[in-house]
Structure formats: C-alpha cells, structure tokens
C-alpha cells in the first residue's frame, strides 16, 4: 500500500472505558476522587497518514493529560507493534477532567497498560483502514462561544473561579480568546471521510453528570453530533486550553457548565463549517521534534500566605490535596502548594517536547503541556500555513507574559518561568517553517 502515489488516510476508534473503579483526573487527587459509575464511555482515536515512504500516527485520547512520559510509552509500545519510528507518533489528550487519572492510585498502572495496548491495537486497525485521500480544510471564528478563565475586577485584581470572594464587581473577562474552529477533512475514495476538529474549549467537570462519573465531557456529544449529521469519522483535538461558555445560553459565568448543550451547539456549528471545506494545495508529509530547555520557576515571593501554610501541613502529614485542605483553604492556594512541592523537586531547567508536522498544506503543532489562548493566537498569526492545528490538552501550565504580569492562577500553579510560552511559540514557528 505504501507504494501508491498520493496520500493515504486511515482511522480507528478504541473504547478505553475501564470496567473497574479508578481515580479520576482533574481538581482532586486520584486517591480520594474515585469514580462511582459511567455517564458516557470514553475513547481514543488513531489517524494513520501515509505518503510515499513517510507514515505518521496521530492520537487523541479522552483523558485529562497525556504527559511526556505517557506519550513516550505509547510511542514505544506502538512502535514495537507496527515498526513505525516513535518520532512519527504524536499524542494529544482531550483534557477531559472526568476520565481516569494515570497517577497516584493503585489501579493506575493497570489502566495505563490497557491504554497502551489499545493504542497499539488502534494503530494496526488504522493502518489497515488506509485509503487514498485528499486534504480539505476550513476555519471560522465563533465569538461568544469561549472565554479565558480570568476575570478582571473593578479594583484591578485578576481572579479565576473564586472571584466572588473579593466582594468586588467584575469588570469583565481578562485576556483574549481563541474563537477559531479549524476543520481538516481527509476525503477518501470509497470510504468514509475522516474529520479532525480543533477547538479551544476546556472539557471540564460538571454538576450535570456528577463529579464522580466517567465521561468525556463535551467532546463526546460533540463527536456524536457531527458524526450523526455528517456521516464522517470524527476526532476531536483540544486547542489552547480555556474554559467554555455559551453566552447566548448561559449569560452568567458558571464554572460548572452545561456541557451537553454546549457540545450540541458546537457540533451544529461544525456541521455548518463542513460546507465551507476547500481542498488544500500541497503534498507530502514532513515532521520535526525538538526538546526545548525551559527554566523552572523556583520563586516563592509571589505565593499567597495560605499556600505556605498549606505547604507546611502538607509536608508534616504527607497528604495530597484531599477534601480537608480544600475545605479549609480555597483550592487555588492548595494548588499553589502542590506547585511549590513539585518545583522544589525539579532541576533548574526541564526539557519540554515540541512537535511540528505537516500533511500537504496543513500545519500541526503539539506538545505535552497546556498552552493558552494568547499563545495560540500568536502561533496562528505567525504560522506559514493558512490552516494550523495547535494540539494541547496535556499537563503543566505554560501561561503567557500577560498571565505573569497579573499573577494569574496558571502562573502561580505552573512550574515554568516567565517567557516559556513565548519561547515555545518561537520554536513552533521555526519548526513549521523548516518543514514547509
């Protein structure tokens, strides 16, 4: 099959829902937040793309994070099963906060091994499914469907979820949003098209389904809506992270969003955008991976007094987040403490993975950390490609310079120093130019 001229595209979708109790990722530690049931099943998808002698595999996984160590293990297992070079295997997560954590509880190792096996199986299925394809793409801004999770108060303070505790009216959301949805469609001969959706939204926990139930949040109903309406095979990729809100449906900011209504709305908009798909000029596949040195932020001076007190309790009792500390202190302070602990155990610099690849005339970037809307806007503005995917949904906040200026939540609870986001964007742009 590799000898055929032109692009070949294949697809596989694997159910990765555990049939046993697991710890859940997002907000609380996995030892205390155990799932009590399943609201919706969760999946991983694998896209296999071949042109000439070049083959790449692209994964998106319903999970809160696919950090570097996990991505490396997926590459090792999949490479052993398929013979494909691990540097040609790219991993992203949907950032679902109601999916199994892969850290800090007894069943984590078993779940990770099952995920690795599912990824290997999916690679083989996607490779077998390959068929001739042409690349099509579309993009459009949908203002009012998204926002950054920073709120500026009238006294100049910038806060996140706990902004009401200040007793000061909100001036508005602080910072830009990436309102752009990007679609890439692999139109295949005699087989269903494969549609990739890239959107900024943040799959969050939700009161509507229960804090202890497994589900993919809005990516699940979004995929289902688009699949039902288009007949295509669908994969969702989280862009630069940011929380989601439908201003036309939910006028007041609420961290616990009605994700199903949001998903159906986004699916409806994606279906409309499908009508604007156009063939993209360009051929061939090219890839590049670079490890970037990032400075770790070891400073304490900006930390809240409560965070230092929490750290003291944490150090004395060897406890993780848990409900007790969360009730006594706001979770932002607790997370600052977790960051302090992690930073204290890190070297002065840490290498961060950056990937860039192109398929025809479409550019893709991905890494194993969380970047935010301002960085995505900078990347898209500077990218040499008209259509650019930014795949995140992973672990470790990388806020922009604006976030550091305002001591935003991500700056206080992340690990890396000011300037890291801008360094990564510069690196992405350079890699995209080099693989043109």
Is the distance from CB of 23 to CB of 31 less than 8 angstroms?
yes
Instruction: Choose between 136 and 264: higher pLDDT.
Output: 136
Confidence of residue 1 (pLDDT cuts 50, 70, 90): very low
Does pLDDT of 265 surpass 60? yes
Is the distance from CB of 350 to CB of 402 less than 8 angstroms?
no
Average the pLDDT over 19-38 and give the result: 85
Return the pLDDT at 298.
80
Give the residue among 427, 377, 419 at the shortest CA–CA distance from 402. Answer: 419
Domain count, the chain: 2
Instruction: Choose between 250 and 153: higher pLDDT.
Output: 153
Query: Domain check: are 78 and 136 in the same one?
Result: yes
Give the CA diameter of the chain: 67
The values of phi and psi at residue 250, to 5°, are -130, 90
Instruction: Choose between 346 and 321: higher pLDDT.
Output: 346
Residues facing residue 395 across a β-bridge: none
Average the pLDDT over 217-242 and give the result: 93
CA distance 370 to 65: 9
Does pLDDT of 31 surpass 80? no
Can you say how many angstroms the Cα of residue 242 is from the centroid of all Cα atoms in its chain?
Answer: 10
Q: What's the full length of the chain, in residues?
A: 436
Query: Domain check: are 149 and 105 in the same one?
Result: yes
Does pLDDT of 246 surpass 70? no
CA distance 2 to 282: 19
Query: Domain check: are 354 and 254 in the same one?
Result: yes
- The answer as to whether 68 is a domain residue is yes
Is the distance from CB of 292 to CB of 427 less than 8 angstroms?
yes
Return the pLDDT at 325.
60
Query: Domain check: are 368 and 338 in the same one?
Result: no
Confidence of residue 8 (pLDDT cuts 50, 70, 90): very high
Q: What is the pLDDT of residues 332-354, one digit of tens each?
A: 666 777 777 778 788 999 999 99
- b/e map 93-126, b = 16+ CB within 10 Å: bbbbbbbbbbbebebbeebbeebbebbbbbbebb
Return the pLDDT at 255.
46
Q: What is the pLDDT of residues 117-147, one digit of tens each?
A: 999 999 999 999 999 999 999 999 998 788 7
Confidence of residue 2 (pLDDT cuts 50, 70, 90): very low
Query: Domain check: are 226 and 311 in the same one?
Result: no
Q: Looking at beta carbons, which pairs linking 74-79 to residues 24 or more positions away fall under 8 Å? A: 74/115, 74/116, 74/119, 77/116, 77/117, 77/119, 77/120, 78/119, 78/120, 78/123
Query: Domain check: are 311 and 283 in the same one?
Result: no
Query: Domain check: are 276 and 318 in the same one?
Result: no
- The answer as to whether 2 is a domain residue is no
Alpha-helical (H) ranges within 55-210 are 68-82, 108-128
Query: Domain check: are 321 and 403 in the same one?
Result: no
Count CB atoms within 10 A of the CB of residue 5. Answer: 9
Query: Domain check: are 179 and 267 in the same one?
Result: yes
Q: What is the pLDDT of residues 81-124, one digit of tens each?
A: 999 999 999 999 999 989 999 987 889 999 999 999 999 999 99
Distance (Å) of CA 121 to CA 114, 194, 207, 292, 413? 10, 19, 34, 31, 36
CA-only gyration radius of the chain, Å: 21
- The answer as to whether 1 is a domain residue is no
Instruction: Choose between 201 and 269: higher pLDDT.
Output: 269
Dihedral-angle region of residue 355 (phi above 0 means left; psi in -120 to 50 means alpha; beta otherwise): beta
DSSP for 161-182? Answer: TTGGGG---EEEE-S----EEE
- The answer as to whether 167 is a domain residue is yes
Instruction: Choose between 381 and 414: higher pLDDT.
Output: 381
Q: What share of the chain in percent tops pLDDT 70?
A: 85
CA distance 426 to 428: 6
Q: At what angle do helices 331-344 and 305-317 cross, to 10 degrees?
A: 60
204 Cβ partners below 8 Å, 6+ apart? 26, 97, 217, 243, 244, 255, 256, 257, 259
How far apart, in Å, do the first and last CA atoms of the chain sit?
A: 25
DSSP for 192-255? Answer: --EEEEEE-------TTT-TTEE---THHHHHHHHHHHH--EEEEEE-SB--B--TTT--S--S
Return the pLDDT at 261.
82
Return the pLDDT at 163.
78
Is the distance from CB of 239 to CB of 391 less than 8 angstroms?
yes
Query: Domain check: are 166 and 127 in the same one?
Result: yes
Does pLDDT of 320 surpass 60? no
Does pLDDT of 164 surpass 90? no
Query: Domain check: are 238 and 224 in the same one?
Result: yes
- pTM: predicted TM-score of the whole model, two decimal places: 0.92
Helix and strand numbers (H, E) in the chain are: 11, 20
Element (H, E) at 391: strand 387-391
Query: Domain check: are 331 and 366 in the same one?
Result: no
Range of the domain at 337: 299-345
């Amino acid at each position: 099959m590799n000898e055929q001229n032109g692009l070949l595209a294949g697809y596989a979708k694997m159910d990765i829902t555990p049939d046993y109790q697991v710890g859940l990722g997002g907000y609380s530690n996995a030892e205390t937040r155990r799932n009590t049931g399943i609201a919706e099943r969760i999946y991983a998808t694998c896209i296999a793309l071949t042109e000439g002698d070049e083959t790449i595999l692209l994964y998106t996984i319903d999970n809160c994070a696919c950090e570097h160590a996990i991505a490396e293990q997926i590459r090792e297992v999949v490479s052993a099963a398929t013979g494909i070079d691990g540097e040609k295997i790219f991993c992203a997560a949907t950032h679902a906060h109601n999916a199994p954590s892969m850290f800090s509880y007894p069943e984590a190792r078993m779940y990770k091994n099952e995920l690795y096996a599912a990824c290997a199986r999916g690679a083989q299925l996607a490779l077998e499914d390959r068929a001739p394809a042409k690349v099509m793409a579309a993009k459009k801004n949908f203002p009012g469907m998204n926002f950054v999770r920073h709120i500026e108060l009238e006294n100049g303070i910038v806060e996140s979820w706990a902004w009401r505790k200040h007793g000061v009216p909100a001036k508005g959301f602080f910072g830009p949003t990436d309102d752009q949805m990007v679609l890439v469609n692999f139109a295949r001969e005699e087989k269903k098209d494969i549609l990739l959706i890239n959107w900024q939204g943040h799959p969050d926990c939700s009161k509507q389904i229960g804090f202890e139930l497994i589900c993919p949040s809005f990516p699940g109903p979004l995929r289902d809506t688009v699949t039902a309406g288009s007949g295509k095979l669908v994969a969702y990729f989280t862009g630069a992270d940011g929380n989601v809100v439908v201003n036309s449906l939910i006028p007041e900011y609420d961290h616990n969003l009605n994700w199903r209504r949001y998903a159906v709305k986004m699916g409806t908009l994606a279906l409309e955008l499908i009508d604007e798909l156009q063939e993209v000029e360009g051929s061939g596949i090219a890839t590049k991976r670079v490890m970037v040195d990032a400075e770790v932020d070891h400073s304490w001076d900006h930390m809240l007094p409560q965070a230092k007190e929490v750290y003291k309790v944490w150090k004395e009792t060897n406890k993780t987040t848990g409900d007790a500390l969360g009730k006594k202190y706001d979770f932002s302070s607790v997370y600052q403490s977790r960051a302090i602990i992690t930073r204290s155990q890190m070297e002065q610099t840490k290498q961060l993975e950056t990937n860039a690849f192109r398929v025809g005339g479409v550019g893709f970037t991905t890494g194993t950390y969380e970047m935010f809307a301002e960085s995505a806007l900078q990347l898209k503005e500077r990218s040499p490609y008209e259509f650019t995917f930014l795949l995140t949904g992973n672990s470790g906040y990388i806020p922009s310079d604006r976030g550091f200026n305002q001591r935003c939540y991500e700056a206080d609870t992340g690990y890396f120093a000011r300037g890291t986001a801008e360094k990564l964007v510069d690196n992405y742009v350079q890699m995209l130019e080099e693989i043109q």
